[in-house]
Chain A
């Protein structure tokens, strides 16, 4: 089955700087990679996702890149703001099935 590793576990950046979070996966058949943001006490919210037929996707200050050969994908947040502070989770499908396997999360702190 799928195994997802995420790092770093914590990340602190100055407001306005960029943040990068990386994930690796094990199942070469996986073709969908979502990123969720979870604020304290709230539900996970999808912020961006990427399918395996593209290598990069952007949405304003957020981008995701995918390297299928190396089996890793990354979340890039530019011009970080204090409201970006949260825990971010990457995920990949479980053994080609639709339930997701999540990474352990990255706690991002944006310091004003």
Chain B
């Protein structure tokens, strides 16, 4: 079946611009996660959705970052006033229900964001 998909695969923007990154989770998965991966590092948690609501947004670095999941499926990560330090690969993952901590998280291919 179809895995987690993310668009765009690459995004180049200028400092100060606004960007949106999209994630399509595996069909039927109620839990969705956003991570950020900088070069040579492991994925770093940003925000976690259980259905439509953000169950944990403690990883968002500041108020320029925001994410939504209005219908409990597709999610959009929004970054305002981008800075060069925002450059990274943004990974999305989904899992069956996210309520049991044994759920396997399946990752998308990521969006490589470059802020010039």
* Partner-B contacts on A (CB < 8 A): 6, 31-32, 34, 36, 42-46, 49, 51, 89, 91, 93-94, 96-105
Contacts and interface: CB of A to CB of B under 8 A. Distances in A.
Chain B at the A interface: mostly helix, strand, loop or mixed? loop
B49 to A, nearest CB: 10
B41 A42 contact: no
Interface residues of B, number: 28
Given A97-B56, A98-B31, A104-B41, A43 B104 contact: no
A84 B99 CA distance: 32
Contacts of B2: none
A34 to B, nearest CB: 7
Contacts of B42: 6, 89, 91, 102-105
Contacts, number: 65
A98 B103 contact: yes
The 10 A-B residue pairs with the shortest CB-CB distance in the complex, in nearest-first order: A102-B42, A99-B45, A43-B107, A99-B48, A43-B109, A44-B107, A93-B101, A98-B98, A89-B42, A32-B101
B106 A99 contact: no
Interface in B1-49: 4, 31, 33, 40-45, 48
